[in-house]
Amino acid sequence: MTRGSQLFDSISKQVDVKNYQQLTWTGNFQEYLDLIADNPYAVRNAFQRMYDMVMSYGTEEVTVHKERYTRYKFFQDADGGGKDAIFGLVRPLMKLVGFLKSAAHHYGTERRVILLHGPVGSAKSTVVRLLKRGVERYTRTEEGALYTFAWRDENGEWVDSPMHEEPMLLVPSHLRRQVLSDLFGDKKLRYPIKVAGELCPFSRYYYNLYMQKYNGDWSRVMEHIQVKRLLLSEQDRVGIGTFQPKDEKNQDSTELTGDINYRKIAEYGSDSDPRAFNFDGEFNIANRGVIEFIEVLKLDVAFLYDLLGATQEHSIKPKKFAQTDIDEVIIGHTNEPEFRKLQSNELMEAFRDRTVKIDIPYSTTLDNEIAIYTRDFNAEKIRGKHIAPHTIEICALWAVLTRLEEPKNQQLTMLQKLKLYNGKTLAGFTEDNVKELRTEAPREGMDGISPRYIQDKISNALVLYDEAKSINPFMVMNELEEGLDHHSLITSEDQRKRFKDLLAIVREEYEDIVKNEVQRAISADEEAISRLCGNYIDNVKAYTQKEKVKNPYTGQDEEPDERLMRSIEEKIDIPEGRKDDFRREIMNYIGALAIEGKQFNFRTNERLQKALELKLFEDQKDSIKLTSLVSNVIDRETQEKIDVVKTRLIRNYGYDEESANEVLYFVASIFARGDVRQR
C-alpha cells in the first residue's frame, strides 16, 4: 500500500460518520413534533439560543474593589485556544449578557439594536466575532440543535426554505399556543417559548398552493414537507450575516432584503412571483441567527429605515412583497465620532430610541493590558528572538496611563492611580477610595492609545532590530515615541505632548524596576540574608523586651545594636518616631505565626525582606564594583562577581545573555552618575 493510500484510509477512518448523520437529520413533520416534545428548546428564538450558548460555557464570580461581578467563561475563547479572548471588560460584558437574558424572557429588549460603542481597537469586532462563532458551534451540539424545512416542488424536487424558517410556522397561527402547550405539558422552562410571525413569501406560496390542491387538508400539505437539522454558518451564509457600508453611490437596500432574479421572470411570468426572487439579503440569510452591522452609523438613511423595522417589528420589506417576519439578533458597532453625530442629529431620534448602547472601553487595568500583548508576543510565537523582561509590561503601562484622567486628589500621581486600579494597596487609600476614583472619571478608557498601536510598534522593533538576539523596553519605547509624530488619531499637539510626558514617567518607572532587580540579584545570597535577618530579630526581641544581646564572638551581654536596626529600617522609610511601633509589629507578627505553628523567616514579611535585601546590597555593591562596567576596566575577581549576578538575572528573572548584559550596563551607568534613589 502506498503512502498516499495509507493516509487516505487514515483520514477516512477519522471522519465521524455517526456525527455527520446526526447533524444532517431529516424527518417528517410528525417526527419533528415528537422531537420538540422531548426537547422544547429546539423551538427557541435567536435571542434565547444566543443567551443559552453564552451560559453553556459557565460563569464565575469575581470581586473587584468590593463589587461582585459575573465573568462569562465564553469570552475567554477556550474553543479558539484563547486567540480572541477578551481581557477585562467584565462590566460591559455583564451588560451585554444581561441584554440577551432580558430579550430571552421577552422583556422588550428583543426589539432593540445592540450598539457596541467605543474607541478603535477596543475589541468591539472581537466580541461580535466570538458571538457569531459561538452560535455556529452551538448549533452543532445536541443542546443547541435547531431545525428548518424544505418543500417538495411541482417537479418533485426538494427546495429549502430560503430563510431557514422554524417548522412550527407551518402550524396555523391561531393553533400554535395550544399546540405548544400540549407538547410541553407541565415542563418548567427557563423562559417562555413562543412561535411568532408568519411564513416568508416563498414558503407561503407553496403552503397556499398545496392547501388549494388538497382543499384545505393541512395533513396532506405536510406530506410535501421535509424537516431537517439546521447548522448556522457564516461561510455558507446560513443564519449569520455581516453588512458593511460602502460608498454611498454603490449602496443598495436590496443587499439587506434581497432582490428580483430577472433570469427567472421569464420562467415564472411575473416579477412578483416569490420563486423569481432571491431571498439572499443579509437580513434574509441571517434569519434564526445574528446579523452584524460594521460601523452601523455610517449607513445611508434608506438602510436605517430597514434596520428600524427589523428591530422594532421583527420584519423586513422585500421589493414587491409584503412585510416578512424575521428572527435574529441585530448587533452593530461604532466609534466615538460617529456616535456624537448620531446624538446631534434630531432626525435620528427614532434610531436612538431603538438602541441599547454598550460602551466597550480600552482596558484601564495593567494586568489585563499585559495579557493582551502577551497573547501575541510570547516565546511560542516569536521564535529566534528574546523579548527582555518588562518589555511588554512597560508598553502596557504606558498604554493604560494614556487612558486615565488626572486624579483630583493632588497627593495621588497618575502612576499611583494606575497601580491602585491594578489592585495594589497604597498607604492612605482603601478600596472605597478606588471606587470613588472610578466614579469621578466615568469616561476613562474611552480615549487614549489603542492596543493596535502598541502591537504595531512591538512588531516594528522586532523587525528593526533584526540582528539583535533580544529586544528590550528602550527599543520599543523609542518606537512608541517616534510613532507619535505620525499618529493619525492624535488630533492636537497638547495630546501628543501629554503622551510623550507619560512616556518619560514610564522610563523612570522602568529605571526603578531594573535597579531594584539588579539590587536583588546582587543581594540574592539567601544565607547572608537569613543571617542578617536572624541578627536583626535577635536585636529587636532584646529591644522590645528590654533585654541584652549575647555577642557571638566575645560571649558578653551587650545592648541591642541600634545602629544595625536603624540601618535596615531606614531602607523602607521607617522614621525614627515610628521605629518602636514597627519593631513591636514584627514581634507580634512572629508571635501570631508561632501560635499557628508556623516559623518566621525573612520571606514571610515582604517589607522586612525588601529592607534586608537593600541593606545587603549596600554592604556588597562596593565589593562587586558594578560601575567598573562603564569604565571597561574590570579585574578578574570583579568579573567573576558580575558573572554571578548575571547568572542570577538569567535564572531568576527571565533574561537571556544579551539582555542581562544590557540591563547590567544600564544600571551600572545609573550608579556611575550617583543616582541611587530608592523607592
- pLDDT tens digit sequence for 500-513: 999 999 999 999 89
Confidence at residue 475, expressed as pLDDT on a 0 to 100 scale:
93
From residue 408, give the alpha-carbon distance in Å to each of 411, 427, 440, 594, 639: 9, 17, 8, 44, 50
Average pLDDT on 284-312 reads 86
Average pLDDT on 108-121 reads 92
Confidence at residue 675, expressed as pLDDT on a 0 to 100 scale:
47
DSSP count for the chain of H helices, then E strands: 29, 19
As a whole number of Å, the end-to-end CA separation of the chain is 72
CA distance 67 to 39: 38
CA distance 434 to 348: 38
Reference 270, options 278, 260, 285, 280; nearest CA is 260
Cell of 185: 405539558
CA distance 76 to 123: 13
CA distance 608 to 565: 11
Q: Which helix (DSSP H) or strand (DSSP E) does residue 34 occupy?
A: helix 29-38
Give residue 74's identity as a one-letter amino acid code: F
Confidence at residue 84, expressed as pLDDT on a 0 to 100 scale:
93
| Residue 515 pLDDT > 70 | yes
Q: Are 528 and 499 in contact (CB under 8 A)?
A: no
Report helix, strand or coil for 308. helix
Give residue 537's identity as a one-letter amino acid code: I
Percentage of the chain exceeding pLDDT 70: 94
| Residue 155 pLDDT > 70 | yes
Q: How many CB atoms lie within 10 A of CB 10?
A: 9
Burial of 145 (0-12, 13-18, 19+ CB in 10 A): buried
At residue 258, what are phi and psi to the nearest 5 degrees? 95, 170
What residue ranges in 508-633 does DSSP mark as E strands? 549-550, 557-558
546: left (phi over 0), alpha (psi -120 to 50) or beta: left
Name residue 71's beta-bridge partners: 60
CA distance 111 to 616: 68
Percentage of the chain exceeding pLDDT 90: 51
Confidence at residue 248, expressed as pLDDT on a 0 to 100 scale:
62
CA 504, 508, 511, 513 dihedral sign is negative
Average pLDDT on 263-269 reads 88
| Residue 628 pLDDT > 70 | no
Domains present along the chain, CATH in parentheses: 25-361 (3.40.50.300), 366-510 (no CATH), 523-618 (no CATH)
Confidence at residue 655, expressed as pLDDT on a 0 to 100 scale:
92
Confidence at residue 95, expressed as pLDDT on a 0 to 100 scale:
96
Confidence at residue 640, expressed as pLDDT on a 0 to 100 scale:
76
- Which residue in the block uniquely carries the three cell numbers 541600634? 562
| Residue 616 pLDDT > 90 | no
Q: What's the angle, vertex CA 113, arms to CA 106 and CA 73, rounded to 5?
A: 75
Kindly list the strands in the beta sheet with 355-359, ordered across the sheet, starting from the edge strand earlier in the chain: 240-243, 290-294, 329-334, 113-117, 355-359
Report helix, strand or coil for 290. strand
| Residue 197 pLDDT > 80 | yes
Confidence at residue 614, expressed as pLDDT on a 0 to 100 scale:
80
Comparison of pLDDT for 477 and 668, the residue scoring more: 477
CA distance 402 to 506: 11
Q: Are 362 and 417 in contact (CB under 8 A)?
A: no
CA distance 282 to 243: 7
Confidence at residue 679, expressed as pLDDT on a 0 to 100 scale:
37
Comparison of pLDDT for 194 and 550, the residue scoring more: 194
Window from 42-51, 297-306, 358-367, 565-574 with minimum mean pLDDT: 297-306
From residue 583, give the alpha-carbon distance in Å to each of 531, 565, 568, 575, 576: 18, 9, 12, 12, 11
Q: What's the angle, vertex CA 110, arms to CA 104 and CA 111, rounded to 5?
A: 165
Model confidence at 86, pLDDT cuts 50, 70, 90, reads very high
Average pLDDT on 74-100 reads 94
At residue 634, what are phi and psi to the nearest 5 degrees? -125, 125
State the chain's mean pLDDT as an integer.
Answer: 88
CA distance 443 to 122: 14
| Residue 456 pLDDT > 80 | yes
Q: Are 304 and 342 in contact (CB under 8 A)?
A: no
Model confidence at 159, pLDDT cuts 50, 70, 90, reads very high
| Residue 116 pLDDT > 80 | yes
**Highest mean predicted confidence (pLDDT) among 322-331, 512-521, 626-635:** 322-331
Confidence at residue 149, expressed as pLDDT on a 0 to 100 scale:
97
pLDDT digit string, tens, across residues 485-501: 888 778 788 899 999 99
Window from 36-40, 418-422, 530-534, 579-583 with minimum mean pLDDT: 530-534
Confidence at residue 63, expressed as pLDDT on a 0 to 100 scale:
85
CA distance 412 to 205: 71
